[in-house]
Amino acid sequence: MSNKHLFLKAGLINTPLQNGVGRYVCQLQRVVLKFCKNNGSSRGMRDFIESELVNYAKENPGVVVYLKPRRHRTAVIKAEYLNGDAQWISCRNFTQEEISKWMNLLKTQSNNNTGTRLKKLWHTDHPSIQGPWTPYTFRDPKLNLVEFPNTEWSQPADMTNTSQDDLVELFKKQKIEELNKNRAK
């Protein structure tokens, strides 16, 4: 079993240059497609170059696309980002669709984040707007003037009556009823 992911570098969300606050800037700067003109393992890459590459370059005027034919070697995509990261993908025996999918992914990524695990799915500069919760939020301001030790405030808030209390109450009620009866007489 591979425990590699347990030892990955853990990181937080890090977006370059406040991307998207004003407008979105594509972070991919350069793509190099390396392939062999003869070898079968580069076939999908050659198909991609023939049919889709021109459109890809047209759709993304901000991305420089290089082609690098080299004899008898595996097809490879190398991507370079605005922050200096470089990403290298081996495309041995990839189909045309697979390659176009990877090219699309590279276009929408902002750095080479393979090998970093996100700790949180949320980043904020303003963690609390109404103020963080404290034990005194939403409490009775009377508490400020209470002097401790204090029996009333030291009790649990949801204290229920004991059976003895109930009995005492019943007794008192009875007494009052008797008193009322006497008065009525």
Partner 1 sequence: MGQLNEKIKVFYEKTKKGHNLEMACLVRQIFSKLIQTRQLTNPKLLSSALVPQSLVSASHKLYSNAPTPYEIVDPDSQKKIQKDIIDKVNSQIENKQEGRLFAVVHVAGKQFKITDGDVIVIEGYWPPTAGDRITLDKVLLAGGVDFTLIGQPVVQKGLVRVEATVIEKTLSHTKTHFKKKRRKQYMRINFYRIPQTFLRINSIQIVGEVNNPPEVRGLETAIF
| Site residues for partner 1 per CB under 8 A | 1-5, 8, 13, 15, 19-21, 24, 26-27, 105, 107-110, 113-118, 121-126, 129-130, 172-173, 176
Nearer to partner 1 (CB atom), residue 128 or residue 154 = 128
Backbone angles phi, psi at 181, to 5 degrees: -60, -45
Shortest Cβ 154–partner 1 spacing (Å)? 24
Shortest Cβ 115–partner 1 spacing (Å)? 7
Nearer to partner 1 (CB atom), residue 131 or residue 135 = 131
Structure tokens belonging to residue 128: 């609390």
Nearer to partner 1 (CB atom), residue 129 or residue 159 = 129
Q: 67: part of which helix (H) or strand (E)?
A: strand 64-69
> Taking the CA atoms of the chain, what radius of gyration do you get in angstroms?
36
CA distances from 156 to 41, 77, 130, 132 (A): 74, 66, 28, 24
Nearer to partner 1 (CB atom), residue 30 or residue 73 = 30
What is the greatest pairwise CA distance in the chain? Answer: 120
